[in-house]
């Protein structure tokens, strides 16, 4: 483009030195001398001395505002993280029992746990379950903890429904009818059904003879914890398995070598000991009396067998009871009864296998503690009976 003379506006604060703009004026170019503009002239042109400083002030304000916004965002983020972390952490306090419906989804779980005081924010817990991809709950009773963190609540949920076990205690010396009655007191169980199974041969013990179907004496007296899913047959099987285990541990398989009796006969002896003995110290001595009487072809004359024959439970028998016509009445029938009359415990099984050496043929309750006295002759026995009568024990 064609060039012509150019005039640069005066700059404030510059000296008017008469020099040409840009130095010596080039040939053919008309240059003008730069001069200083006064403040009044600058003001007349709309210029103010604070204009340059004002631009710098606006930049500082923008930087400060941006910094404050960033700091605010960081503080908010930290607060949110701490809020969420506070809900996630924590083991909780006292146990809280809850029954959850089967297939309960995240919303139902969050609402139920919030209302029960397990978690504090149902909305956040709902989304936490979504984030973790938790499957719907299996129905049943659960155990949570009051005011616990979401991780702890999820752990408790993952444990699944608590198996509520029923405690079943079978005392030593119970017969099948008494055991069946105890089982029948469990929710949803039938005493009649249990007793029918115990006499049917549906469940068998390794010590049960082939021609015997009754599990009398072959159900071990113990404390059992029964699961809700266990029916009468499952309970019976557990009791018989426990008997087989204990019997093997005390050496019932070797009874022929130790006492000359078969394992089942030894079990019958153990059941008699269980019903007669009150103290463990007497058990092996009563075992010796029974074995000595069997050896001498004497009737056992054990009261407990008469009561079993009559199907009753009482402390004393009458003379009329002794006339009961039953193979279990050892006042009338010689030898052992045809089967056990009760479930013996470990101590009675061990005593039947390891009788105390001696010549005793009689025993009688001699002390309120349950201690028995033992005699070899009938005269000794009559003297002990008189002493027991005098004490009010017979």
Tens digits of residue pLDDT in 155-201: 888 888 887 789 999 999 999 999 999 999 999 999 999 999 999 99
Residue of 110 and 365 predicted with greater confidence? 365
What is the structure's pLDDT at 37?
56
How many angstroms separate the CA atoms of 174 and 304, rounded? 12
More confident residue, 124 or 384: 384
Percent of the chain with pLDDT over 90: 54
Q: What is the DSSP string of 87-122?
A: HH----SSEEEEEEPTTB-HHHHHHHHHHTTS-S-H
pLDDT score, position 277: 97
pLDDT-derived band at 244, boundaries 50, 70, 90: very high
Q: Please tell me the predicted confidence (pLDDT) of residue 202.
A: 95
pLDDT for residue 138:
84
Mean pLDDT of 286-312: 96
Residue 13's pLDDT band (boundaries 50, 70, 90)?
Answer: very low
Q: What pLDDT score was predicted for residue 231?
A: 96
Query: What local confidence, expressed as pLDDT, does residue 2 receive?
Result: 47
Region 38-43 average pLDDT: 59
Predicted pLDDT of residue 47: 53
Q: What is the mean pLDDT of residues 136-165?
A: 84
CATH class of 95-158: alpha beta
Where do runs of H (alpha helix) occur along the chain?
Answer: 39-44, 51-88, 106-115, 122-132, 150-158, 176-184, 191-198, 232-250, 255-259, 263-276, 283-295, 303-310, 346-353, 378-390
Q: Quote the percentage of the chain above a pLDDT of 70.
A: 79
Of the given ranges (3-17, 199-213, 224-238, 378-392), which has the lowest mean pLDDT? 3-17
Structure tokens at 343: 């479930």
pLDDT at 88: 54
What count of other Cβ atoms lies within 10 Å of the Cβ of residue 147? 15
DSSP 8-state symbol, 6: B
pLDDT for res 260: 96
pTM: 0.68
In whole angstroms, what is the distance from residue 355 CA to residue 266 CA?
Answer: 11
pLDDT for position 6: 46
Higher pLDDT pick, 42 / 353: 353
Distance between CA atoms of 272 and 336, rounded to whole angstroms?
A: 9
* Tokens (6 digits) for 285: 């001595």
Q: How confident is the model at residue 95 (pLDDT cuts 50, 70, 90)?
A: confident
Rounded Cα–Cα distance for residues 340 and 267 (Å): 7
Residues in a beta bridge with 6: 31
Is the pLDDT higher at 97 or at 237?
Answer: 237
Task: Provide the mean pLDDT of the chain.
Answer: 84
Question: Scanning the structure block, which residue is given the tokens 């989304």?
Answer: 127
List, as one string, the DSSP characters of 302-348.
-HHHHHHHHT---S---TTGGG--STT-TTTS-S--SS-SS---HHH
Task: Please state the rounded mean pLDDT for residues 227-251.
Answer: 96
- The per-residue pLDDT for 29 is 46
- Examine the pLDDT at 26 and tell me if it is beyond 80: no
11 band by pLDDT with thresholds 50, 70 and 90: very low
125, 303, 316, 325, 391 from 320: Cα distances, Å: 75, 12, 12, 11, 24
- Is the pLDDT at 383 greater than 90? The verdict is yes
Predicted pLDDT of residue 390: 94
Residue 21's pLDDT band (cuts 50, 70, 90)? very low
pLDDT band at 76 (very low <50, low <70, confident <90, very high): low
Q: Terminus-to-terminus CA distance in the chain, angstroms? A: 146
Residue spans of the domains in the chain: they are 95-158, 168-250, 276-390
Q: Does residue 257 surpass a pLDDT of 90?
A: yes
Does residue 343 surpass a pLDDT of 90? yes
pLDDT for 48: 55
d(CA 173, CA 271): 7
Q: In this model, does residue 252 exceed pLDDT 90?
A: yes
CA distances (Å), 253 to each of 221, 261, 295, 307, in order? 20, 10, 21, 29
């Amino acid at each position: 483009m064609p060039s012509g003379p150019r005039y640069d506006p005066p700059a404030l604060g510059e000296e008017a030195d008469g020099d040409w703009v840009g130095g010596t004026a080039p040939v053919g170019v008309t240059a003008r001398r730069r001069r200083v503009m006064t403040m009044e002239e600058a003001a007349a042109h709309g210029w103010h001395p604070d204009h340059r400083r004002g631009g710098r002030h606006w930049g500082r304000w923008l930087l400060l505002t941006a910094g404050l916004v960033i700091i605010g965002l960081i503080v908010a983020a930290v607060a949110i993280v701490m809020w969420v972390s506070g809900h996630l952490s924590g083991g909780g306090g006292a146990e809280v029992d809850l029954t959850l419906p089967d297939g309960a989804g995240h919303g139902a779980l969050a609402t139920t746990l919030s209302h029960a005081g397990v978690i504090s924010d149902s909305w956040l817990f709902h989304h936490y379950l979504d984030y973790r991809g938790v499957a719907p709950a299996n129905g049943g009773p659960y155990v949570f903890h009051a005011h616990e963190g979401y991780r702890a609540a999820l752990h408790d949920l993952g444990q699944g429904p608590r198996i509520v076990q029923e405690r079943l205690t079978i005392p030593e010396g119970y017969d099948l009818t008494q055991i069946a009655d105890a089982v029948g007191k469990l929710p949803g169980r039938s005493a009649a059904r249990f007793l029918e199974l115990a006499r049917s041969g549906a469940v068998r013990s390794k010590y049960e003879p082939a021609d015997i179907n009754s599990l009398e004496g072959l159900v071990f007296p113990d404390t059992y914890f029964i699961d809700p899913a266990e029916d009468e047959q499952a309970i019976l099987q557990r009791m018989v398995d426990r008997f087989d285990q204990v019997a093997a541990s005390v050496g019932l398989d070797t009874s022929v070598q130790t006492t000359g009796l078969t394992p089942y006969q030894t079990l019958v002896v153990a059941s008699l000991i269980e019903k007669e003995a009150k103290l463990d110290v007497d058990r092996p001595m009563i075992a010796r009396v029974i074995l000595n009487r069997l050896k001498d072809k004497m009737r056992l004359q054990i009261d407990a067998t008469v009561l079993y024959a009559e199907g009753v439970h009482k402390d004393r028998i009458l003379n009329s009871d002794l006339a009961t016509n039953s193979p279990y009445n050892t006042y009338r029938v010689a030898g052992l009864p045809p089967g056990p009359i009760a479930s013996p415990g470990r101590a009675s099984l061990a005593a039947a296998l390891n009788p105390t050496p001696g010549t005793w043929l009689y025993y009688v309750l001699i002390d309120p503690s349950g201690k028995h006295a033992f005699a070899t002759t009938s005269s000794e026995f009559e003297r002990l009976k008189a002493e027991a009568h005098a004490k009010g024990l017979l």
